[in-house]
Structures are given as C-alpha cells and as structure tokens.
Structure 1
Amino acid sequence: MTAPTVQIGSDNELRRDLRSLVDQICADYPNEYWRELDRTRSYPEEFVAALTKTGALGALVPEEYGGLGLEMGDASVILEQINRNGANAGPVHAQLYTMGAVLRHGNAEQRSTYLPGIADGSIRLQAFAITEPTAGTDTTSLQTTAVRDGDDYIVNGQKVFISRVQHSDLMLLLARTTPLAEVERKSHGLSLFLLDMRTVEGITVRPLETMVNHETNEVFFDNVRVPASALIGEEGRGFTYVLDGMNAERILVSAECVGDGRWFIEKASRYASERVVFGRPIGQNQGIQFPIARAHINIEAADLMRWRAVDLFDAGLPCGAEANMAKLLTSEASWEAANACVQTHGGYGFATEYDVERKFRETRLYQVAPISTNLVLSYVGQHVLEMPRSF
C-alpha cells in the first residue's frame, strides 16, 4: 500500500518548483557577485534580467494580462528563496506588489496598457513615492501637491528614501489634491498617480548614500505636468488605495526576512561546526550553540505568522493585523539570527569576504521599512487591543 502524500504548512509542488527555479538562478550569481555590487553600490542588472525572463516577477499579475496568476504565498516563496541564497530581493520585490494599485483600482485602459508590460518586465514599476522629509510615518501630513490644470495635474514637492527610481519606468505617486484645510480628515484629499517617467519632465533625482546598497533617492517635482489619465481610481481616495496594498508589501517583506534568517542560521551553524578553537568545534560550546538554536526557533515561529497572514490574504479575508505582526516578528527574528551569526564568526563576521556583514546591514533595514516596529505596535495596540490611539 502506497503511503499517502501529506502537505505540511507552506509546502506544495508549485512552491518547491519556485524555490528550485530561484536556486538555479542564484547559482549563476553567487556571493562574489553581490559582494562586488555592494562595494561599487551598483544595481544587479544581470540578476534582475535573469529573474525577469522566468516570468517570476509577474507572479501576482492575472493570466489575462500575461502574468502567472499565482497567489501571495507563491510569490512570497520567490522572495524568501532569493534571500536564503545570500542574494538580495530588495531590487526586485516592488515589481511584484506595486502593480496591485493598478490591478485593483486602475481603470480598464490603465490595466490593459501597463499590466502586460509589468508582467513580462518590459515595463518596470519599481518606484513608490510616498515618504517625505517632514512626513515619514505621518503620511497624511505630506506636502507634495497635485493641482488640476485643464486635462493635467501640476505636481510640486519633494519625496525622500524612494528606492529604485533610476531603474523604474513608472512611479506610483501619492500627492495632495485637496488642501488640508479643506478636508474633514487628514487622510482625505490625497490622490494616487501612475507617472510615466519616460515622458514627464521636471523630475530631479538625487541619490542618497546609505548603509545598504538599495538605490535610494531624493526626488524633486518642479511643475511636473501629469495627464489626468494618470490618476488611479477616484481623486481624493489615494490614501485608501495605498493602505490596501500595504498588506501585500508587509507579507512579502516578511518572507524576505525569513530567507535572511535562514541564511544566517545555516551560515552560523556550518561555521560553528567547522571552526576549531582549543581543540574542539566552537559549536560544541553551549555559549555558541544555544544562541543559534534560539534564533532558529524564533525564525520558524515567526514564519508561522507569515503563513497565517498569507492564508488570510489569499482567501480574501482581512489580514492587516496578521500582516503587521508577521512583519514585526520576522524582522526581529532575522535580526536576532544576524547577530548570532556575526558573534559566531567573531572577527570574520566583519570581513567582507564572508558576506555576513553585508547581509547584517541588509536585514537591519526591515525593522525600519516599509513600516517601523513602533508603528506596528501602535497598530496592534489601537486596532487589535482597542486601546486609545497613541499618536
């Protein structure tokens, strides 16, 4: 009698195939490739092109628009496996989820015009312009304006920490179309636009040097004339559309953190088993072994919340709390694993040739972006535990 096939947790044939696909691509872009990019602060053009050819970056685009029509869980596996190989999914992850605003809130013409190109990678939608110098977490206080002028809008303002602008054809832009003094709530009067940066004029991009090779920029808008057809959905409802897409972003970033965490744990475990000091492998010492084991336990536990959020999202059910909690737990667990890995390697953890310090810097980002740990705690305190608003 043949034993029954058992599917446990996130495991299924499609996702195993996706992991294998990513493994094959990453094998052609080993640690040396990412190390050199980090040294020169360059964008992984070749890696992105190789991944694009597989159609993986169109995973969430419906088949009718040329995408793979997969679920969020499937897409999350792609990003997790990139990071688990020691690579960095940051340069490509926005192509997966940013198009959601067009898919769910764009009109038929916008969907048919842009989604096929986004699906096959011929159109890059990697830039999402929300954050401003004086309005980071406080999105509703942003000052970039879009004023109607006939068949166009005139955009003026400044954005900061906008990633991948130099490698994106389109940009999603959140701007105020109704002055703050004229709206009942601060979240009203904000509108979302899909800018074609290949055609508009008046945008200035200034690269920012940061501790992570993430192609991050300041973006200035000086009387940028945008056609009214670039408006996504209804004028004044842009903030709602942005919130609608954030659950997908949090879930996918959670998957990246899981990938990072598993990379750190595998790296630390292997080194601890091979490195001999005082005549014995250092991993034989509980002072080395236990922090790695605890980090592994916390990654696996955090991953369960990631899959809980995935299951709710793919079922079309509310998942804001779960997506936020998954992002917090996985980002903290990956950071714990990063610290354990550095400590295990000692001085070599700081040597670029071991790649630990590079991944250490990369995974630290996710406690700050795309949402800070404190804002997740505020969300849970207010919306889940029903305590008074803290800000």
Structure 2
Amino acid sequence: MSTATFLKEEHAIFRKSVRSFLEKEVKPHYEKWEKDGLIPRDLWGKLGQQGLLCPWLPEEFGGGEADFGYSFVLIEELERVGSSLVGVPLHNDVVVPYLWHYGSTEQKKRWLPSCTSGKSVSAIGMTEPGTGSDLAAIKTTAILDGDSYVVNGSKTFISNGLHGDLFVVVCKTDPKAQPAHKGISLLVIDADTPGFTKGKKLDKVGLRSQDTIELSFEDVRVPKANLLGEAGRGFYYLMEQLQQERLIVAIAAIVSAERTLELTLDYVKERKAFGKPIGSFQHNQFTLVELATKIEIGRTFLDSLVERHMNQEDVVKEVSMAKYWLTDLAKEVVSSCVQLHGGYGYMEEYEVARRSRDIPVSAIYAGTNEIMKSIIAKKMGL
C-alpha cells in the first residue's frame, strides 16, 4: 500500500470507507463470483450509492470533484481484493473521461449522471478480431447518412461488455482517409440500439468474473448527436487519454505484486520442510529479498509518476516504462511465489493460484509491453 506524499488525511479517510464497503459487499462473495464467472450487475448500483463511481466528476453530475488520489486509493483497494474488479477503474478512469473531456454540454448532461449512479456502466470498443495494437487498421465503419451514422463491424475483448450500457466505439468515419488514423472518430452507442448485438461472455484463463465479450454492429443507426468531439479526431483523443489508462494498469500491477509477496511471506514462515520453516532456507530468503527490493523500487517510481500525473505533466514515456516494467515484475513475482508455495500454489484454495492466472494479461491489455517499448524508443529519439 502506498504511503506517497500526495495522499492526505482525506485520502486515508476515503480508504477506510472503501475498505469497509469492500469487506461487507465484495470480499465475502468474490470467490463465488469467480466460480460463477460473473460479478453481479447490482454491485454497480451499490458502488454508485457509496460515491465510488467517478468521484472526480463535478457535483452537478453526481461526483465529488475529487482529485486522482481518490481514484488511486480505490484502484489499490479493489486490486487487493481481486483483479476481476478491474471493470470499475475502467469505467471510472478510462471510459468516462472520454465523455467528460470531449463531450458537449448536452452530452455530459445526458450521460454523466447515470455513470456516477451506476445506472449506466460504460465500456470502450477499440480492439477488433483482426486488429489489436494497430488502431489505425480498424475496420468498423460509421458512414454518415442524413442525421445518423450507420455503423458496421465488430469488436472483441470488450471489458464491461456484458453489463455495459454506454459504449465509446472507435470507428472509421472516413475509410479513405490518408493517413488512415485521420479517418477515426469516436461514437457513443447505447446498448439497446437496434442492430447492436452482444456476443456471449468470453471464457478467459483469468479475470474469470470480469465480463468480457464480443460486440457486433449490423447497420446500426447512431444519431449524429452521439459523435464525441470532432469527426476525424478520434485517434488523437485516444492518444491523449492512454497515459492515464496505462498508469491505472501499473498501479494494479504493483498492488498485485505486493499482495502476492505478502501472502507468500506468511506461507514460508508457517510451512515447514526438513524440520524448519522454508523461509529460513537461504535460497528462498534471497528470492524473497530480491522480489521485495524490486517491488520497493517499482512502488517508489510509480508513486512519483502518479504525483506528476496529478500535476498534469506529460509523463507518457515514464508511464510506458512503468506499465511494461511493473506488469513484467508482477508476472515474475507471481511465478516465483507459486514455486515457493510448492504444490499448494497450484490449488484453487490458495489466492496465489488465482493471482497467477490474473496477472499475465496486464502485460497485454492497454497496449502490449512491446508497444510500450516502441513508445519509449520514440520518446528517446530512436
């Protein structure tokens, strides 16, 4: 858990409130949700009642005008319970900011209050079956016809997709644009729009209760009034907001690493082999010391970036470093800790087993770690 200087007394009070809510409403049920493969929809309403949805929004839209420190605390506490709760930060700090930054006054009044109450769950449709990191190559089109855009195409790996009500969909409004990224726009599409179909929940290796699905659009008519910002500016909007998305992934990664190490330290002090605790063997001690050191270094770097982000600095290069390095570190930590648990690390009753399934995808989503390295290389002038 962070002890960063940007966290004040009000953040500590908020943390206690969040933890109390999670202890009551989430932790007792989380393992069942994992087995069932779905977090219940009514959790969103409870989160809204507690003021845990988009607390950074102005009061007129149901928020509390809170700083990013509140989002930071909430992300930490959610991740400590389980990675399948990632849909909440996705809604709060990835999708809704698009509506806030690029929406018109009318659009904000129409959409934001339901996002803070939990009546509307938001999702973003970027990835397509044949297109992952190469956003400029998307094939979903939105062709203007009178006062409507006609949308055709499909999206995949859409988090919050099953429960989703509002979808920010990345489309080509000008398929002939050169370069291709200048033809990309963002449309907000309601889940009940005719021709918009949700596929079945995808069967993932990890994040089992987090709802991830495919979407398809067949001659979906979307009012022109649902265009977010300007036509042809979508790619630039995405680039502007990815710093925060990747920072969120880095925050969750360090918390997962810390939690996994904490579980393992408890285990190696209790588990005995050859007549003494396995934590007393020098090899195991050195492994744990090395992991703890890397986690401390990662935490310090991350906390400094969050503070700079809160100061509205451009830290795209450093956030890209944090996203790739901390997610790789979390994978290293969970791999070593499963090994230290021995056969028990492979048993469902041990949290470390779940962590081992959940953490690898963090090196893939929000831009693969290879893409992070490409961004860093460009920022270095290479």
Task: State whether TM-score is above 0.5.
Answer: yes
Q: CA deviation at 1:30?
A: 6.5
Q: 1 CA distance for matches of 2:5 and 2:338? A: 30
What is the CA deviation profile of residues 95-127 of structure 1, one whole-angstrom value per residue up to 9, with x for unaligned ones?
2121111111111101122112212222221x1
Residue 64 of structure 2 aligns to which amino acid in structure 1? L
What SS does the aligned partner of 1:192 have? strand
Match for residue 192 of structure 1 among 186, 189, 214: 186
What is the CA deviation profile of residues 325-349 of structure 1, one whole-angstrom value per residue up to 9, with x for unaligned ones?
2211221222122112211211111
Q: 268-277 or 74-83, which moves further after superposition?
A: 74-83
What SS does the aligned partner of 2:85 have? coil
Superposition pairs of residues 367-378 of structure 1, within 5 angstroms: 367-378=363-374
Superposition pairs of residues 128-139 of structure 1, within 5 angstroms: 128-139=124-135
Q: Could you tell me which residue of structure 2 aligns to residue 117 of structure 1?
A: 114
What is the CA deviation profile of residues 55-102 of structure 1, one whole-angstrom value per residue up to 9, with x for unaligned ones?
122222223422122222321221112212346431312121211111
Structure 2 CA distance for partners of 1:40 and 1:202, relative to 1, 3 Å: same
Residue 154 of structure 1 aligns to which amino acid in structure 2? V
Identity, % of aligned positions: 29
What is the CA deviation profile of residues 201-220 of structure 1, one whole-angstrom value per residue up to 9, with x for unaligned ones?
11122232111213211111
Superposition pairs of residues 258-269 of structure 1, within 5 angstroms: 258-269=254-265
Contact 2:41 2:163 in 1 (8 A): no
Structure 2 CA distance for partners of 1:54 and 1:32, relative to 1, 3 Å: closer
Q: 2 CA distance for matches of 1:219 and 1:345? A: 40
Q: Could you tell me which residue of structure 2 aligns to residue 228 of structure 1?
A: 224
Q: 1 CA distance for matches of 2:40 and 2:56? A: 22
Contact 1:205 1:220 in 2 (8 A): yes
Q: Could you tell me which residue of structure 1 aligns to residue 236 of structure 2?
A: 240
Q: What is the Cα-based RMSD across aligned positions, in Å?
A: 1.8
Match for residue 257 of structure 1 among 241, 253, 256: 253
TM-score normalised according to structure 1 size: 0.91
Q: CA deviation at 1:48?
A: 4.1
Q: Could you tell me which residue of structure 1 aligns to residue 314 of structure 2?
A: 318
Q: Could you tell me which residue of structure 2 aligns to residue 284 of structure 1?
A: 280
Q: 2 CA distance for matches of 1:87 and 1:374? A: 22
Contact 1:257 1:363 in 2 (8 A): yes
What is the CA deviation profile of residues 251-305 of structure 1, one whole-angstrom value per residue up to 9, with x for unaligned ones?
1121111221111011000001111111111111122222222222222222223
Structure 2 CA distance for partners of 1:129 and 1:354, relative to 1, 3 Å: same
Contact 2:250 2:322 in 1 (8 A): yes
Residue 110 of structure 1 aligns to which amino acid in structure 2? Q
Residue 190 of structure 2 aligns to which amino acid in structure 1? D
Q: 2 CA distance for matches of 1:173 and 1:346? A: 44
What SS does the aligned partner of 1:160 have? strand
Contact 2:7 2:69 in 1 (8 A): no
Structure 2 CA distance for partners of 1:105 and 1:364, relative to 1, 3 Å: same
Residue 101 of structure 2 aligns to which amino acid in structure 1? R
